[in-house]
Every structure is written in structure tokens, then in C-alpha cells.
Amino acid sequence: MTCGRDDLDLDDIRRTLEAELDGLRTMSDAASDQRRPVELDQQSVGRLSRMDAMQVQAMAQAVDARRRGRQQQIVAALKRLDEGDYGYCVACGEPIAAKRLAIDLTAVRCIGCAG
């Protein structure tokens, strides 16, 4: 489907998605130090401190992986907006309910196909 959705404010949706994407990129940049490899110099840091640092690093990497996944969803939604396919189910082609999109602007399936 490549026709517009009169029941959706596509400009507002685009602004919201772009703002979220910018915010995610900013957070990722700010947390880059936490994802760096942990220094294993036993003379400067004790074993428990290294383990704590490695745990913080692992958690930061996991958060960043989720953040990258969300960024990919947003980029895909923006692409669907550009192509005129936004708001239509990728499985059946029917419109995705506006209420469903209000909950998740990146939804790709209608409620019937999502289950």
C-alpha cells in the first residue's frame, strides 16, 4: 500500500521518531566509555573492582544492543514513512490501528497478524 493515512498525523510521527532517534544516539555516545574494554592491570585495580568494572561494561553493552535495536526499528519506520507504506501491516497489508501505533510508532503488524 502506498496511499496516505488520513487518520494519522504523519508529520508529527516523523518528528517524534526523529527526536527519539537523536536521543538514542546521544545516549549511546554518552555511554561509550562504559563499553570500553576493562583494564586488567592487577597492580592498579583489585580483583573485585575489576569484576565490578566488567559487570558494568557487560550491562552497558547489553543496554547499547537494545538501543541499537530500537534505532533500527525507528530507521525502518522512517523509511516506511518515506515510501508511503507507514501504518500498514507488513504481513497482510491492512491498516494498523491508530491506537496500536500510538503505543508503538514502529509497529509493523496489525493486531491480528502480531498474535
44 or 91, which is more confident: 91
Q: What is the pLDDT of residue 29?
A: 81
Q: Which of 45-49, 61-65, 99-103 shows the lowest per-residue confidence on average (mean pLDDT)?
A: 45-49
The per-type count for the chain, helices as H runs and strands as E runs, is 4, 0
CB atoms inside a 10 Å sphere around CB 88 = 20
In DSSP terms, which residues pair with 54 in a beta bridge? none
Q: What is the pLDDT of residue 1?
A: 45
At 111, which helix (H) or strand (E)? Answer: helix 111-114
What would the grid cell of residue 83 be? 515510501
Q: What is the pLDDT of residue 2?
A: 47
**Is 96 in contact with 88 (CB distance < 8 Å)?**
yes
**Percent of the chain's residues with pLDDT above 90:** 61
Local confidence band at 22 (pLDDT 50, 70, 90 cut-offs):
very high
